[in-house]
Structure 1
């Protein structure tokens, strides 16, 4: 298929990206600048957190493409071009009932991930050996997708959780009160039952390597959630648990939002690990 069909060039600052449609899903991708003519084309997907957009991932996509990968981002379900409400309204709605609204975003975007990979393999000519990562909610989606789509061969979730119940979750604020997680409706519960990683540990036996970058002082997504995932997986398979690497951004100033601001400390080494052949 001609990769130039139904595409347009988008500039985010000085970064040129290509916009295309994976069925109904708008995507942005950046091609590597120099790849040998007969070299395998490799795909790395990187997703945003709650309230973010694919456009906000431009700097990440640029860095990924510089490592020789086709770098791709798409909007989470209900986000960006796929949404109908302002960012602040979206965030307020989801945080107002994480288990009803948040689980729907997570579950639908897990399904979307497989659809985007299907499209990219055909339309962009990439290998079915896919790298995936993301920040916060994008990391949650990454972990869940890696459990159901074996084409994901290495995962890089950042300030994230494998437990959609999010025990100990606090608001992202200076006071950080404990959040009321709300209650799911039937649709949200079905997504949880189908995709929640920690209740489907068997999917991660012989699963792909993952490096979870965590904030040592994260009160919004406490590191204990990832630690428990690794520990409980170890009861099924020590070898599989060994493929789950936990890396901490140290205190002080290692709460949820602090980790994003400290990108320069963890992003280069994560790229080295994540995109290492």
Structure 2
């Protein structure tokens, strides 16, 4: 997608908060017909759609429809405080995280259906996310052929996260426990590294990973990139490692988020073909 011309003014933008089914959705887009495509942003564990409002406004000013959702059990549909949910996930990772992650992927696909029809979006569908949201954006591209470009930060293609440790405690490996049958089914159906053939199409992926991130180990994205290189057609995939950054640092970096969104909107001049 070409870089848009002059950005739209704030007065040209419209903000819509609604629900699609039971999914809380925030949409910010141009009031006019100058719509170039749709971008969906997916938050990390403990995050909400509203944290991305500045980014949605920036994307909308570039002529895109910006969309964010509350992941399952987050934001407007939270069943406990974010800190308590985080502790629950860390104590029973596969039992709790895989349904959260897989359900959010399916929710995102349904929201794209609604937004594309409601706002008559003619252009491409782009997806971005941070940590769990980046995992979901990657998985979304595997099941929704409308998605042509993905920008993920601190994300993984391997939901088992081999060697995962606690955030800020790299010496403490997490006992991930066992998955529920429904969670296992979601992982079997949606995990990117289990379905590389789904990504062998016209698709561009960028993933920024932390060089010292042992919570979401970066090796899985390198492994995924090598899998995608073995076959045809081959998508374009960049795995950009940031030396010295751990999980918390890469997830909270405004510069990396800005660069990721710039790439998402403007396209990439490099990467593997």
Structure 2 length-normalised TM: 0.87
- Mean Cα displacement is larger for which, 266-275 or 175-184? 266-275
- Write the mapping of 1:110-129 to structure 2, written as runs, cut at 5 A: 110-127=105-122, 129=124
Report the counterpart of residue 234 of structure 2 in structure 1. 240
The answer to whether 1:256 aligns with 2:247 is yes
Q: Is the 8 A contact 1:176 1:219 kept in 2?
A: no
Tell me, in whole angstroms, the C-alpha distance in 2 between the residues paired with 1:171 and 1:177: 6
Q: 1:261 to 1:107 in 2, by over 3 A?
A: closer
Tell me, in whole angstroms, the C-alpha distance in 2 between the residues paired with 1:176 and 1:46: 32
Partner SS for 2:166: coil
- Mean Cα displacement is larger for which, 174-183 or 112-121? 174-183
Report the counterpart of residue 29 of structure 1 in structure 2. 27
For residue 273 of structure 1, the aligned residue among 240, 244, 263 is 263
Report the counterpart of residue 195 of structure 1 in structure 2. 190
Q: Is the 8 A contact 1:163 1:198 kept in 2?
A: yes
Tell me, in whole angstroms, the C-alpha distance in 1 between the residues paired with 2:100 and 2:68: 16
Report the counterpart of residue 44 of structure 1 in structure 2. 39
| CA distances 1:17-65 after superposition (whole Å, capped 9, x unpaired) | 42112222110121247xxx55444210111000111112222222222
| CA distances 1:140-160 after superposition (whole Å, capped 9, x unpaired) | 000111000011111001100
The answer to whether 1:73 aligns with 2:68 is yes
The answer to whether 1:83 aligns with 2:74 is no
Cα shift at 1:88: 1.1
Q: Is the 8 A contact 2:16 2:26 kept in 1?
A: yes
Q: Is the 8 A contact 1:159 1:221 kept in 2?
A: yes
Report the counterpart of residue 3 of structure 2 in structure 1. none
Report the counterpart of residue 64 of structure 1 in structure 2. 59
Tell me, in whole angstroms, the C-alpha distance in 2 between the residues paired with 1:60 and 1:176: 35
Tell me, in whole angstroms, the C-alpha distance in 2 between the residues paired with 1:16 and 1:175: 44
Tell me, in whole angstroms, the C-alpha distance in 1 between the residues paired with 2:211 and 2:15: 34
Where does structure 2 lack aligned partners over 5 or more consecutive residues? 1-12, 268-273
Q: 1:66 to 1:250 in 2, by over 3 A?
A: farther
Q: 1:267 to 1:87 in 2, by over 3 A?
A: closer
Where does structure 1 lack aligned partners over 5 or more consecutive residues? 1-14
Structure 1 length-normalised TM: 0.86
Q: Is the 8 A contact 2:170 2:214 kept in 1?
A: no
Tell me, in whole angstroms, the C-alpha distance in 2 between the residues paired with 1:175 and 1:140: 21
| CA distances 1:211-231 after superposition (whole Å, capped 9, x unpaired) | 001111111111101001111
Cα shift at 1:113: 1.2
Cα shift at 1:115: 0.6
Q: Matched residue pairs, number?
A: 255
Q: Is the 8 A contact 2:170 2:215 kept in 1?
A: no
Q: 1:45 to 1:181 in 2, by over 3 A?
A: same
| CA distances 1:219-268 after superposition (whole Å, capped 9, x unpaired) | 1111101001111222234x525x111112232xx00111133222x233
Moved over 6 A (4+): none
- Write the mapping of 1:83-162 to structure 2, written as runs, cut at 5 A: 83-127=78-122, 129-162=124-157
